[in-house]
Copies of this chain bind each other. A is one copy, B any other.
Amino acid sequence: MNSRLKFYGWGIEGTGLDEAERTRMLRFVADRLGVEPHLATPPQIADIQLRSPRIKAPGAIAHVFRDDPYERLLHTYGKSYPETVRAFERDFANAPDLVAIPSSEAEVSAVLDWASSANVAVVPFGCGSSVVGGVEPAVGDRYAGVVSLDLRQLDRVLEVDETSRAARIQAGIRGPAIEAALKPHGFAIRHYPQSFEFSTLGGWIATRSGGHFATLYTHIDDFVESIRTVTPAGVMESRRLPGSGAGPSPDRMIIGSEGALGVITEAWMRLQGRPRFRGGAAFGFPDLFAAAKAVRAVGQAGLYPSNLRVIDNEEAGIYGVNDYGESLLILGFESADHPVEPWMARAIELIQDHRGRRHPDENAALRWRTAFIRMPYARELTVPLGVINGTFETAVTWDRFEGFHTLVRTATVEALKEATGHSGTVSTRFTHVYPDGPAPYYTFNVRGTPGQLLDQWRHIKTRASDALLAAGGTITHHHAVGRDHMPWYREQRPALFAKALEAAKGVLDPARILNPGVLVP
């Protein structure tokens, strides 16, 4: 059985949507987007002409490097829409010259030392689930070459401290392997991004990944107890502490650094007990704004539900978890310690005070979840059909939310038409909720024009991003900045902070070889 990752799409070679999922998706693109379905052959290795590597692996660590076409193709792209389009166009012009697959931290250091001295750019790579151009070796012309640095061999849980509920974990391990290693101890990180199966601990930390918990522990940030990072200037390791007030947090400089400051090699992570008690319910609302009011009430009540998500009328329809008549609010509590009924009861009371209609189908949430997890597989079906599809996520304070949403949604709807001449779908959900505001997540689909898909996508992305910045949101809540979001990140971040971060990079990565084009300058 082949267990290689696809180099052009989601997951393992030979896997994908099942027959029923494919049928549903094709019906959606036909009915809603007016696209005539047909099946396309995905790119094959033999289809693609790769340029010869411009650099040669240094002798002493030659065994760390690979230059075979599969590895170079696999490390060319993440999983964003434009990357998938280019993959299907057989355009791998930015393939890395070499792929480094170190089996130890010493080898990571050796690669960075060599790269720093040889003017070779290095792009850290976890499992390639970036949807923002974070791992594409598009580093410009000022380097002798570019290496993709794959952490997949640093894949172990090294220590479990059951007393403190923490574990020392290597950065290249994927979600399910963490889960399996912690299970015998009765623990889990309980961080489940959509990419869980094909993303890594180091990637989660480097991108401030958003996970399972809709409230409180929304990002990976708070689960990090300490981090070990290899930089071109040496190893940086923070002290394992439950909390500290000793100066600005060293970890918070690395969390979200997207490979531009160093290569995270391991971290002590805070663990959760495995849930023994759960409660859940779904509620219908006439529209997103009505649901949002209930979400705000629950989010400000200090109840900390694990799930508090909203799926708007359109999105609920697309996922087949509701008819188009209403928005769905999904509520959930979980605990490893105590029954959650009192928490549930109060949250339900608040939701019903805001006229939430208890949804008759208790499995709506589960069906949505399953459909959600399977979504990344759909792209290899829809891209060859000329469907343009993308998602973007943000966060905004409650006082601005309604105006924000109206502006962003309208801009996106208009942009679809402007770009393609066709009307498409724009749907919204809340993935995370804070006391001071929601994190809305937008999905768009439209029939595009084969051959012009990238330009059309870029127009839509630009209009949507401009709107959300202008309306007071963040350019990303948990997908990270990557290369795609740099224009808006430049606008959003305080200018002086950019300079300070640039100066920090000068210390940690003096030859500026690490993931050039991302975050700094």
* B257 in contact with A248 (CB, 8 Å): yes
Indicate if A59 sits at the interface (CB-CB under 8 A).
no
Min distance, Cβ A482 to any Cβ of chain B, angstroms:
11
CA A343 – CA B495 in complex, angstroms? 45
The one of B161, B234, B248, B257 that contacts A247, using a Cβ cutoff of 8 Å = B257
Residue of B nearest to A439 (CB): B243
- Tell me whether A395 is interfacial, beta carbon within 8 Å: yes
Tell me if A506 is interfacial: C-beta within 8 Å of chain B.
Answer: yes
Contact residue among B164, B238, B244, B261 (Cβ-Cβ distance under 8 Å from A477): B244
Give residues of chain A (242-266) contacting chain B, Cβ–Cβ below 8 Å.
242-250, 252-258, 261
**Minimum Cβ distance to chain B for residue A208 (Å):** 4
A479 close to B (CB within 8 Å)? yes
Q: What 0/1 pattern do residues 216 to 236 of A give for CB contact below 8 A with B?
A: 101100000100000101111
A209 partner residues in chain B, CB cutoff 8 A: 245
- Does any Cβ of B come within 8 Å of A121's Cβ? no
Chain B residues, CB < 8 A from A254 = 248
**Does the CB pair A437–B475 fall under 8 Å?**
no
In the bound assembly, the distance between CA atoms of A329 and B506 in angstroms comes to 49
Complex CA gap A477/B249 in Å reads 12
Q: Interface segment, A15-23, A70-78, A333-341, A445-453?
A: A333-341
Are B397 and A253 closer than 8 Å at their CB atoms? no
- B163 pairs with A399, CB closer than 8 A: yes
Supposing A250-B497, A497-B253, A504-B504 touch, asked if A397 and B304 sit within 8 A by C-beta, the answer is no
**Min CB gap A191→B, angstroms:** 13
Beta-carbon contact of B437 and A207 below 8 Å: no
Q: Give chain B nearest CB distance to A249 CB in angstroms.
A: 6
Known: A256-B247, A496-B508, A500-B508. A242 touches B396 (CB 8 A): yes
Q: How many copies does the complex hold?
A: 2
Contacting residue for A244 out of B164, B300, B476, CB 8 A? B476
Taking each of A236, A241, A252, A480, which has the highest tally of chain B beta carbons within 10 Å of its own beta carbon?
A241
Does A342 have its Cβ within 8 Å of any Cβ on chain B?
Answer: yes
CB-CB under 8 A from A219, the residues of chain B are: 243, 245
In the complex where A166-B397, A219-B243, A241-B396 touch, is A499 in contact with B507 (Cβ < 8 A)?
yes
Which of A33-41, A42-50, A100-108, A486-494 forms contacts with chain B?
A486-494
B244 touching A248, Cβ below 8 Å: no
Size category of the A interface is 35 or more
Determine the distance from Cα of A476 to Cα of B249 in the docked complex, in whole angstroms.
Answer: 12
Q: What chain B residues lie within 8 Å of A473 (beta carbons)?
A: 241
A207 and B253 within 8 A (CB): no
Q: A249 with B242: in contact, given A337-B346, A436-B166, A497-B236 (CB under 8 Å)?
A: no
Q: Confirm or deny: A398 has a beta carbon within 8 angstroms of a beta carbon on chain B.
A: yes
Contacts of A396 in B (CB 8 A): 241-242
Contact A398 B164 (CB under 8 A): yes
Binding site for B on A (CB under 8 A): 161, 163-166, 207-210, 216, 218-219, 225, 231, 233-250, 252-258, 261, 270, 273, 296, 300-304, 335-338, 342-343, 346, 350, 395-399, 432, 434-439, 472-481, 485, 489, 492-497, 499-504, 506-508, 519
Would A242 and B302 count as touching, CB distance under 8 A?
A: no
Complex alpha-carbon distance, A476 and B504, angstroms: 24
Task: Check B165–A300 contact: CB distance below 8 A.
Answer: yes
B397 touches A247 (CB 8 A): no
Identify which of A343, A439, A507 gathers the most chain B CB atoms within 10 Å of its CB.
A507
Note all chain B residues with C-beta closer than 8 A to A247. 256-258, 481, 489, 493, 501, 519
What are 16 sample pairs from A and B whose C-beta atoms fall under 8 A apart? A161-B397, A210-B245, A216-B216, A218-B243, A225-B436, A236-B496, A236-B497, A243-B439, A246-B485, A246-B492, A247-B258, A247-B519, A248-B255, A249-B255, A496-B508, A499-B507
A506 to B237, CA, bound (A): 23
User: Pick the contact of A494 from B225, B238, B475, B504 — CB < 8 Å?
Assistant: B238
- Shortest C-beta distance, A246 to chain B (Å), equals 5
Q: Are A395 and B503 within 8 A (Cβ)?
A: no
Q: A164-B437, A219-B243, A250-B494 are in contact. List 12 more A-B contacts (CB 8 A).
A: A164-B397, A165-B398, A235-B496, A242-B436, A242-B439, A245-B256, A245-B474, A245-B479, A246-B475, A247-B257, A302-B338, A500-B507
Which 7 residue pairs of A and B lie closest in terms of their CB atoms, listed nearest first?
A242-B437, A242-B434, A252-B252, A342-B342, A503-B503, A500-B504, A208-B245
